[in-house]
Structure 1
Amino acid sequence: MLVEYQVANFGPYKQPISLNMKSTEDDSFCGRIPRFESPYHMSVNPVAAIYGPNSSGKSTIFESLSRLASTILGDKPTIWQRRCTFALDPSMQDEPTLFKLVFMLDEKMYSYFLAIRNGYVIEEYLALLTADQEKLYFERTVDGTEFGSTWDNDILLTEIAKTLSEKDTLTGRIAKILSNNEKYTEINSVYHFLERTFWVSSNSLETGIFPGFTIMTALTPSLAL
């Protein structure tokens, strides 16, 4: 289940924008909203709607999430990023495109972050979230990759990190090699979350009934976006 998604320097979005699925304190529909108890004690909306006038960037939110998914699931090079930066400010081509994904998978919450500049990954991390802290699984910067205590002595992961191209995500590369290995299920959480997501997109509805609306859906067993 999607909890929060952020993207910056992508298409028409220069500054970070956020889609937050956490529910408010309004309990009108509490019986229909999934709730996660210990340790999170939070409810997450299963449905969200994005609406606005034509060319306001609705479909771009979907496109950015779809681009992130295809990069990780397909283990594709990140060189595409140079074509997707904020076009109205030429200086943004040399600034990073940022993605942040917070999601629930098998009743655990994870946070994934990816920063790409000039087609190269400059930062990437994955952490397990508890009620009051993060448990680092890995953090990658231009200076190298550090694995958290669960994985810091793993020979396979260390070798993957050593041979990783700057144009590849560590998440995608680990999944390509180890996605079917149960030992690495949690470090492959981003891959498995996106793998279970079914995408349906209609860029516009010119039916005369809903002009200017865009349907964007990303469906998992507990998610509709």
Structure 2
Amino acid sequence: MLVEYQVANFGPYKQPISLNMKSTEDASFCARVPRFESPYHMSVNPVAAIYGPNSSGKSTIFDSLFLLASTIRGDKPTIWQRRCTFTLDPSMQDEPTLFKLVFMLDEKMYSYFLAIRNGCVIEEYLASLTADQEELYFERTVDGVEFGSAWDNDILLTEIVKTLSEKDTFAGRIAKILSNNEKYKEAYSGVVNYDPATR
């Protein structure tokens, strides 16, 4: 379940825009809104509406979600990013396009971040979240990949890093190689199987 989505430097969006699915304090429809208790103590709206005039960027939000999902899975090469930066400022073509997903999977919350510049992945991370802290699975920068305690000293993941292309997402690479391995399934399945059309 999607909790929050952010995108920046994409189409008409120069600064980060956010789609936040956390519900308000209004209790009118509390029986229909999924609630996550300890440790999160929050409710998440199961549906949302985006409205506005024609050509105001509504469809672009969904386009960016589909591109993000396709990029993570490796279905679409990251080179698309060079054609999708903020169009009204030419200097933004050399700036990264940023994505952030916060989502629930099996009543556990995760945060995934991806930054692409000039068609190459320059930053990526995945972490599980509690009410006041996060547990890192991995953080990738141009200098390499650092693992959190859950995956630290994992020989298989260390070998996968060696074959990682700057045009691949690490989450997608793990999924392709380890899709049937229960040890890694929990952490990447929500990101890789994310389908904006059905959630």
Matches within 5 A, 1:151-162: 151-162=151-162
Can you give the 5+ residue segments of structure 1 that lack an aligned partner in the other structure? 200-218, 221-225
Change (3 A) 1:57 1:47: same
Matches within 5 A, 1:1-225: 1-194=1-194, 197=195, 199=197, 219-220=198-199
Residues in 2 aligned to 1:125 and 1:96: alpha-carbon distance in whole angstroms = 15
Change (3 A) 1:55 1:198: closer
Contact 1:75–1:169 (8 Å) recurs in 2: no
Q: CA RMSD in A?
A: 1.2
Residues in 2 aligned to 1:78 and 1:198: alpha-carbon distance in whole angstroms = 19
Give the Å deviation of 1:193. Answer: 4.2
Larger radius of gyration between Structure 1 and Structure 2: 1
Residue 172 of structure 2 aligns with an amino acid whose one-letter code is: G
Contact 2:77–2:167 (8 Å) recurs in 1: yes
Change (3 A) 1:103 1:167: same
Residue 66 of structure 2 aligns with an amino acid whose one-letter code is: S
Residue 3 of structure 2 aligns with an amino acid whose one-letter code is: V
Query: What is the percentage of aligned positions where both structures have the same residue?
Result: 85
Contact 1:139–1:147 (8 Å) recurs in 2: yes
Can you give the 5+ residue segments of structure 2 that lack an aligned partner in the other structure? none
Residue 62 of structure 1 aligns with an amino acid whose one-letter code is: F
Contact 1:78–1:167 (8 Å) recurs in 2: yes
